[in-house]
Structure 1
């Protein structure tokens, strides 16, 4: 009897001891079964790496261009163009802000609506990014606003065109294009046309991420001029218009570092998923002059945090935020009229980015040019109806719900939930793969309760009286917010 009691006691003790282990395992692995795009590809998406794509003189020339440009705005202010909503617009608050965390207003469209890439922001806030940060939404939003300038006309600049005529580069880009068409086997030189659409410069200061995303896709009949950016990614995930998708090739080349020390050593790894969102990510440390090539419209990619641990300034997404060169390798981070941070050039992860479309021949390229000129686009109402029907057919939406009895905001939110999930890749970098700090948004009491376990952004401080005045910068033909520090001197 005594022996039985002892055995019973040991058995009970083991059961109770296993409870926290089981609970910990559930926290660790269960979220992956309920969230995240888990698709694994049968065949990896092609990518190429070209060392020394940029010569040292090319790097120096592009860096000089960056210094001469001087101002780089956040993606919200720099990229807003074309059709920007599906009708989910709400009025701006009296203080100029938006009530919804993922809504914003822009200079060209001053109502609150989903930002072009709200899909990126929502995933980033929920998961805490590639490293699984446990931070407040305000802190994370301040860590996603990389500074970028778009130059669609620069693709015709002789010095830029020369970069895209390199034989080794064209061979590698050809591999990317043919992979997008699903073409196997050897190919002949010159059996494709690569049409650059734009070049960008991206500056990523310390403490910033470039969250996981896909680049805007291009379809015959649908593009970023005819629909909000996030709709393009909804179409990609739905499989609608798959046969109308135009393959593209994105290139990323690095301008930071020196010839002697070419690597950016303070985080900022390039992260990408050639085997699909359900497979493990690959990481590359950014190297001066090196180019990474892929179809960014099909492959999910991003940039891990630069200078992890750096406390970024309180950047408000509803203000005009930009980084401006002041000379002497010094950059000011300005938010409306306030100076909120200062960096040196060597602090920045500096990237030259370009995108282009793949065509089989000149005739197809000319057809595309005419297509843009004629604005031969699928009407938005027709596209939304097709998405509604697809959700009904695939069980994503109850047949009692439709465009007639749903508000456009509810319909847009449903599209986000049902189609726009990125990988839950934090399962490899964080014990609990969700960012529980996101629950504190709009709930001050919960923010206080979670404060010991969550990183908040640092208090916003205007540093204007501690540094020389920002240099005068005006943009002819732009609205008032672009003239913020005009005529200060």
Structure 2
């Protein structure tokens, strides 16, 4: 007689218990991506173009010489401190010159603390740990975001710079970017647009630094970085309220690092961008000497993955004057106020020449824009904030009981950040758990101690001044208060 065998109760129970860690592993892997971030996927990709040899070797050498002659490059905090800087969230600076809130900074032109110009970038970066999903404390991550950048609005008229924008291949490809911004893809006549450069930048990214995901400052008829804080421009972009008022722009990124024989930056620092929108996968490009990437950076989310992953950056405090200065002999000093906190060689730096410009249909529209700037024909800030308040009420982002009149400006700004300024959770393909749990330790010493075995903290601040020759004297007249510091010996 055939005897049927039943499953062992012990085996069945063990199998159930074994599935529990699998369930939680899957939950930790995919749940954050479901609940967090901007998941919008575009039907058509935002246009981008790549010109492999945009800069000749002679161009690269000339631009590198310019970088060496400039000598000093400050952080993005100093670079963003221009135009209107707050919506009224200002708080007093502490006696030691710092700010209570991690996302607040004090600029040299203001006696108060306020949201940094790109607080949207910093907040997302701390929550996610960047493109590689780093598990690091907020202090460590903030020290890893302060790339060094100089803005040169007047350099667009320099003959050597203007020459770069007259290249026929470049004009054809930048025309594709402009027309994509207008929504008019496909065949068109050559020269049926006007490109107005607005500024050129030099960006130096030392080892251990990220350039977190971001969009470039948008330009609208009535709203720009001269009339509103930088982060508010991106709120307007995500709200869609001024979509028909946005002026298309074209950003170019070209690389100056490496050598003719070894043109690639081999130690991280990939260019990351999202042509299909924040809900789609990112694309990555290894930066190559002389190569240019063109896109509308006001519409395309992009950034730079960490350079030299694993390098322990110096303890940079965001509320002091941080800059990188060339000392000659291929040597750069990282200075924080009067302290020397790190030293690099030119070959360590990811070195980028960046330019931006606006797209106009013809000379008449360009002239209209010039007059628009001259007249400062801008939307008043209160009007804009009321429009955003109404939009949040209509879309359920803000309770009807809350409004500009009964909310502190800081609280209102925090609503704007949380409801509009969510960059993609781009660590899904680079980290098992795509949220930086170390961020939870902010302001909680007991939790920081508990998580310390699993989180990288920033290293102790060390002044290296007695180990190297003194920093060379520096003074740059006409470039702002902080560029005239150290006119005498440090």
**What TM-score do the two structures reach when normalised by structure 1?**
0.98
Counterpart in 2 of 1:96? 97
- SS of residue paired to 2:427: helix
Shift of 1:4: 7.8
Specify whether residues 60 and 25 from structure 1 end up closer, same or farther in structure 2 by C-alpha distance, changes over 3 A only.
same
Equivalent residue, structure 2, for 1:285: 286
The answer (yes or no) to whether the contact 1:213–1:302 under 8 Å persists in 2 is yes
Q: Give 1:457 shift.
A: 1.0
Provide the C-alpha distance between the structure 2 equivalents of 1:4 and 1:488, rounded to a whole number of angstroms. 89
**Does the 8 A contact of 1:79 with 1:150 survive in 2?**
no
Number of the residue aligned with 1:237: 238
1:475 Cα offset (Å):
2.9
Q: Which residue of 2 aligns with 1:303?
A: 304
Q: Tell me the distance in 1 between the aligned counterparts of 2:15 and 2:245.
A: 59
* Correspondence for 1:371: 372
Separation in 2 of the partners of 1:153 and 1:484? 22
TM-superposed deviation, 1:478 = 6.2
CA RMSD of superposed structures (Å): 1.3
Shift of 1:428: 1.0
Matches within 5 A, 1:415-434: 415-434=416-435
Q: 1:65: Cα distance to partner?
A: 0.2
2:85 is aligned to 84
Aligned to 2:396: 395
Name 1:212's counterpart in structure 2.
Answer: 213
C-alpha spacing 1:143/1:30, structure 2 compared with 1 (3 Å):
same
In structure 1, what is the equivalent of residue 173 of structure 2? 172
* TM-superposed deviation, 1:16: 1.0
Distance in 2 (CA, whole Å) between partners of 1:25 and 1:68 is 53
2:268 & 2:195 partners in 1: Cα distance? Answer: 32
Map 1:198-277 → 2, pairs under 5 A: 198-277=199-278
Take 2:110 and 2:36, find their aligned partners in 1: how far apart are those partners?
33
Rounded Cα–Cα distance in structure 2 between residues aligned with 1:99 and 1:153: 36
Distance 1:92 1:28 in 2: 41
Mean Cα displacement is larger for which, 470-479 or 373-382?
Answer: 470-479
Q: d(CA) in 1 for partners of 2:300 and 2:251?
A: 10
Output one character per residue of 1:199-236: Cα deviation in whole Å (capped at 9) or x when no partner: 00000000000000000000000000000000100010
Q: Deviations over 1:289-345 (max 9, x none)?
A: 000000000000000000000000000000000000000000000000000000000
Question: Aligned in 2, Cα 1:477/1:61: closer, same or farther, shift over 3 Å?
Answer: closer
Distance in 2, Cα, partners of 1:96 & 1:153: 32
Q: Structure 1: 5+ residue runs without aligned partners?
A: none
Residue pair 1:322, 1:334 contacting (<8 A) in 2 also: yes
CA distance in structure 2 between the aligned counterparts of 1:185 and 1:104, rounded to whole angstroms: 45
Q: 1:170 to 1:108 in 2, by over 3 A?
A: same
User: Unpaired runs of 5+ in structure 2?
Assistant: none
Alpha-carbon contact 2:341-2:461 (below 8 Å) kept = yes
Aligned to 2:329: 328
Judge conservation of contact 1:336–1:484 (CA < 8 Å) in 2. Answer: no
Q: Distance in 1 between matches of 2:482 and 2:366?
A: 38
Partners of 1:358 and 1:125 lie apart in 2 by 34
In structure 2, what is the Cα distance between the partners aligned to 1:97 and 1:478? 23
Structure 2 counterpart SS, 1:20: helix
For 1:357, the equivalent position in structure 2 comes to 358
Query: Could you tell me how far apart the structure 2 residues matched to 1:185 and 1:261 are?
Result: 37
- What is the count of residue pairs matched by the alignment? 488
User: What's the offset of the Cα at 1:479?
Assistant: 6.5
Would the alpha carbon gap of residues 4 and 412 (structure 1) be closer, same or farther in structure 2, given more than 3 Å must change? farther
8 Å CA contact 2:48, 2:177 repeated in 1: yes
- Quick check: 2:251–2:297 contact (8 Å CA) kept in 1? yes
Q: Report how far residue 3 of structure 1 moved.
A: 7.7
Partner Cα distance (2:466, 2:439) in 1: 34
> Which residue does 2:45 correspond to in 1?
44
Distance in 1 of aligned mates of 2:191 and 2:44 = 25
CA contact (8 A) 2:143 2:316 kept: yes
CA distance in 2 between counterparts of 1:7 and 1:36 reads 45
| Aligned-pair CA distance for 1:12 | 1.8
Instruction: Give the match for residue 198 of structure 2.
Output: 197
Aligned equivalent of 1:125? 126
SS at match of 2:231: helix
How far does residue 477 in structure 1 lie from its aligned partner after superposition? 5.1
Q: Does 1:21 align with 2:14?
A: no
Cα distance change of structure 1 residues 338 and 3 upon mapping to structure 2, 3 Å threshold: farther
State whether residues 134 and 453 of structure 1, in contact with CA within 8 Å, keep that contact through their aligned partners in structure 2. Answer: yes
Please give the alpha-carbon distance, in whole angstroms, between the structure 1 residues aligned to 2:481 and 2:434: 42
Cα distance in 1, alignment partners of residues 321 and 302 from structure 2: 27
> Matches of residues 450-461 of structure 1 in structure 2 within 5 Å?
450-461=451-462
Using the alignment, how far apart are the partners of 2:34 and 2:401 within structure 1?
28
Query: Retained in 2: the 8 A contact 1:330–1:343?
Result: yes
Contact in 2 for aligned 1:337/1:484 (Cα 8 Å): no
SS at match of 1:428: coil
Matches within 5 A, 1:60-79: 60-79=61-80
Question: Is the 2:477–2:483 contact (alpha carbons within 8 Å) kept by the matching residues of 1?
Answer: no
- In structure 2, what is the Cα distance between the partners aligned to 1:142 and 1:333? 12
Q: Which residue of 2 is the match for residue 343 of structure 1?
A: 344
